[in-house]
Amino acid sequence: MSLPEDIFSFKGKVNLKNPDNTFGLLEYYGANKTEPPDKPFKIYFGRWIADGQRDLIQQFHLTKRHFIGNTSMDAGLSLIMSNLGQVKQNSFVFDPFVGTGSLLVACAHHGGYVMGTDIDYLLLHAKARPSRHNQKQRLADESIQSNLSQYGLGHHYLDILVADSSKHKMWRCQPMFDAIITDPPYGIREGAKRIGTEKDDCFVTDDVKNGHIPQRVEYQMADIFKDLLNFAARFLNMNGRVVFWFPVSRESYTEENLPTHPCLRLDSNCEQTLSTRISRRLITMVKYKEFKDEDMGTAEISVDHYDNKPFRDLYFKNHRAIHNQ
């Protein structure tokens, strides 16, 4: 194979010890365990941009984590989500379904100051059932803050609140977050809950309603994503990003199924296959329009995609169908 004579006609001397640019040549001879051909199928020539950071996956691996739960996001995906959120030094990052804070660990590693909320008081205060095998009870110091301190990131921890992510009135009504990065509950391993309203507590008589705290009720899938996008549109800074997982049926999915909001535009949409029929999409949206009061409650989602049923029903229906085939 001959190359053009001027392909390597660099001007100036080549500095092998401290080069301004490094170039690489890669040859592709086919898949592993196949007889290699005499000549490569393809040859790639390019400039070195940066080293990979896959070693971080082992550094932040859940088996080494002080505080984990049943739904803790693995290190690799947490780092990817932080990258999609473009978290950088001094970013203000929020997770409304924080759980055990795996996403906050990745965001703090990239320089963000992190906080979150979760409705599960027992989990956040290390009083819930342990997730590790042979661990009978949680330790008193199991917390998201201890996870960050474990990696020398404790100074990036702001706070964790026990709160209902569907209630937005607790926040000062102004943009504040640079990124909202979260994994909403789908109701498969952990059920989605919110605080009920007086309408939900219709069995409570008028004489005891004063001071009554409504019970927790089911949080429907469509409402979760509507509330999330309404929250992001109001509280993200301009050009801020919301990154979240969105579960789908692969058979009926189209991009029209994705939740939308007039203040947010879709930036990326990646698929992680969970089974032959179920997957989840990693969605990144960017705030490109200033939020106004009339924009509140304007998020939309196609409930037909779930047949107006919990995703758990769809998930296990497909698994039973596969098992019976």
pTM of the model: 0.80
Q: What is the pLDDT of residue 16?
A: 84
Q: What is the pLDDT of residue 323?
A: 46
**In the structure encoding, which two tokens stand for residue 306, read together?**
């779930």
DSSP string, 195-212: E--TTTTTTS-GGG-TTP
Contact 249, 117 (CB under 8 A): no
Q: What is the pLDDT of residue 12?
A: 72
Helix (H) or strand (E) holding 77: helix 75-84
The whole-angstrom separation of Cα 33 and Cα 30 is 9
> Which alpha helices (DSSP H) does 192-274 contain, by range?
221-235
Tokens 């029209």 label which residue? 256
DSSP string, 115-166: EEEES-HHHHTT-SPP-STT--S--TT-SHHHHHHHTT-GGGEEEEEE--TT
- CB neighbourhood size of 89 (10 A): 8
Q: What are the structural domains, with CATH classification, of the chain?
A: 55-324 (3.40.50.150)
**In the structure encoding, which two tokens stand for residue 49, read together?**
């941009």
**Residue 27 CA from chain centroid, whole number:** 36
Amino acid at position 211, single letter: G
Q: What is the pLDDT of residue 231?
A: 95
Tokens 């994503």 label which residue? 225
Q: pLDDT tens track of the chain, all 325 residues? A: 555 556 566 677 778 889 888 889 999 998 877 788 889 999 999 999 988 888 999 999 999 999 998 889 999 999 999 999 999 999 999 999 999 999 999 999 999 999 999 998 888 888 888 888 888 888 888 999 999 999 999 999 999 999 988 888 889 989 999 999 999 987 655 556 666 655 555 555 666 556 656 666 677 788 889 999 999 999 999 999 999 999 988 888 889 889 999 999 999 999 999 888 889 999 999 999 999 888 777 788 765 555 555 666 666 565 555 444 4
Q: What is the pLDDT of residue 322?
A: 46
Residue 29 phi, psi (nearest 5): -110, 15
Contact 109, 60 (CB under 8 A): yes
Q: Which CA distances in Å does 275 have to 30, 272, 280, 322?
A: 28, 9, 10, 10
The whole-angstrom separation of Cα 16 and Cα 291 is 53
Q: What is the pLDDT of residue 325?
A: 45
The whole-angstrom separation of Cα 180 and Cα 228 is 9
